[in-house]
Structure 1
Amino acid sequence: MSDVDLRGEVAVVTGASLGIGEATAVAFARAGASVIVNYRSHREQAEKVVAECEQVGGKAIAIAADVADQAAVEGLVDAAVKNFGKLTIAVSNAAYSDREVFYQADMVGFKRTVDVTMWGAFYLMRAATQQMIKQGGGGSIVLVSSPHAFIPAPRAMAYNMSKAAIEHAARTAAIEVAEHRIRINVIQPGWTDTPGERKFASEDTLQTAGAKIPLGRLGTPQEMAEGILYLANPKNTYLTGAALLIDGGISLPWWANRGSAAPG
């Protein structure tokens, strides 16, 4: 989206050292924004993302923070203001997921998934909103959700319920902050080829499974970043409380595939 102009905008992107977060940070920088590149444990990768952002003409700083820690998330917003003077865009991308059936799940991992994926998104939305109201001028917040907010993936209950929760939170917040010209939207990336997915599946598995998606492949982080860029674009002043689904058709009924008969 080369026509997107984010010069003068300042963004915080959580979970920005890898995957969709990395692609989003670089896309914002390419459009002219200054970016806080958040990471928790991948410092080297985060520093590479900062270098990528600078190479495409933007400004960026890597900040370590665990989004499950409310004070740490508020520190990300403070860092944006301290280093770049304001905050106009916030993207909640950081997530965590263990994959076990709920009745056998390690509750430490289950609660960690909720803490990062749900509470982390809420903390950023809250802190960003407070700053945007304080400085005036509106702003844009994007929460990265998933089709699993409405399609239950087995062995991922904590993740599914966290994504469902942030979608309703986003819509509720969008109503509450509309008077401040703060827009809050959600993106629902489908199965995307990221390091997070490769934590659970081999290359052969991803290729075989990807071929069964209606459009025949997994999505790319760059494609998801384009969607986030669209939602965050300050020119889209009438867009709020929306969910943008980019999933290659994976959420369509299985019988929609060519050659299959409809059930019933």
Structure 2
Amino acid sequence: MTQREFEGQVVLVTGSSQGIGRSAAVEFARRGANVVVNYHSNPAKAEEVVDEIEKLGGKAIAVKCDVSDYDAVEAMVAKTVETFGKLDIAVSNAVYSDREFFYEADLDGFRRTIDVTMFGAFHLLRAASRQLIAQKTPGAITIISSPHAFIPAPKAMAYNMSKAAIEHMAKTAAIELSDFRIRVNIVQPGWTDTPGERKFATDDVLEEGGSKIPFGRLGTPEEMAEAIAFMSSPKNGYTTGATLLVDGGISLPWWGKTGRAAPS
């Protein structure tokens, strides 16, 4: 039986028209939440998520917003409150990333990665915090980071920088917001099988790469959604400034694997 720990709560998930964000939005709805589905450029995909949530018996709206624009993020939070009367949980998931060596990188793409991945997270953190403080209610803000925050993967400098920065941002915010009982936590999804990965690799490359991870496969968006819900849950009311790594062991020294068969 599905737990309903988010019954009556309002959740805003950025970048939730596909991938991890989509699965998170649906998982929150499955557990009783009303959900704001944010998208930047694909309204049809966002409406599919809304339809899926409504089929589950939940309520949802789709809101177009470029998270790199702070005024737009504030307007999205205002739309959330106008529609549902409040905000309880915000999940910063929206990202942008190019893959080039930094010394050859197109600087427009480099800056866009930082504007969306770093400043986009800050914009949601600030706007959601201000709303929760004004409401005088506790809440949760979950920042979606990555092992890129501590693994200097080549051809991803802007993304690596951004993920490292938002982790320090989140922990600083956790201290500053503790008096308001607003929890700020981090989830680090590992290499996950999402549509966004097709920007960089074919299905064959993803399958081969996943086979080298200690668990032998890529993660799924649904697994990451479970982690996001866990860190956002009111059941974890004493957890703030914490980081949950969900990566199938990719950040472990996988080159030292023994090759033993998994237990049956």
- TM-score normalised over the length of structure 2: 0.97
Runs of 4+ in structure 1 displaced over 2 angstroms?
1-4
**1:27 equivalent in structure 2:** 27
CA distance in 2, matches of 1:255, 1:200: 23
**1:70 equivalent in structure 2:** 70
Aligned residue runs from structure 1 range 1-264, under 5 A: 2-259=2-259
CA distance in 1, matches of 2:64, 2:4: 28
Unaligned runs of 5+ in 2: none
Cα offset, 1:241, TM superposition: 0.2
SS at structure 2 position matched to 1:102: coil
Cα offset, 1:75, TM superposition: 1.1
Q: What per-residue deviation string (whole Å, max 9, x for no partner) do you get for residues 53-94 of structure 1?
A: 111121100000000000111111101100000000000000
Letter in 1 for 2:8: G
Q: How many residues align?
A: 260
Cα offset, 1:3, TM superposition: 2.4
SS at structure 2 position matched to 1:101: coil
CA distance in 2, matches of 1:199, 1:137: 40
CA distance in 2, matches of 1:97, 1:87: 29
Letter in 2 for 1:189: P
The 8 Å contact of residues 145 and 166 in structure 1, kept in 2 or not, is answered as: yes
Cα offset, 1:259, TM superposition: 4.2
CA distance in 2, matches of 1:52, 1:257: 41
The 8 Å contact of residues 4 and 233 in structure 1, kept in 2 or not, is answered as: no
CA distance in 1, matches of 2:181, 2:231: 14
Letter in 1 for 2:139: G
SS at structure 1 position matched to 2:103: helix
CA distance in 1, matches of 2:74, 2:11: 14
The 8 Å contact of residues 14 and 39 in structure 1, kept in 2 or not, is answered as: yes
The 8 Å contact of residues 63 and 76 in structure 1, kept in 2 or not, is answered as: yes
Identical-pair percentage: 63
CA distance in 1, matches of 2:259, 2:52: 44
Q: What per-residue deviation string (whole Å, max 9, x for no partner) do you get for residues 158-198 of structure 1?
A: 00000000000000000000010000000000000001101
CA distance in 2, matches of 1:29, 1:254: 36
CA distance in 2, matches of 1:181, 1:91: 17
CA distance in 1, matches of 2:235, 2:30: 17
Q: What per-residue deviation string (whole Å, max 9, x for no partner) do you get for residues 236-262 of structure 1?
A: 1111000100000000013331249xx
- TM-score normalised over the length of structure 1: 0.97
Moved more, 1-10 or 174-183: 1-10
Unaligned runs of 5+ in 1: none
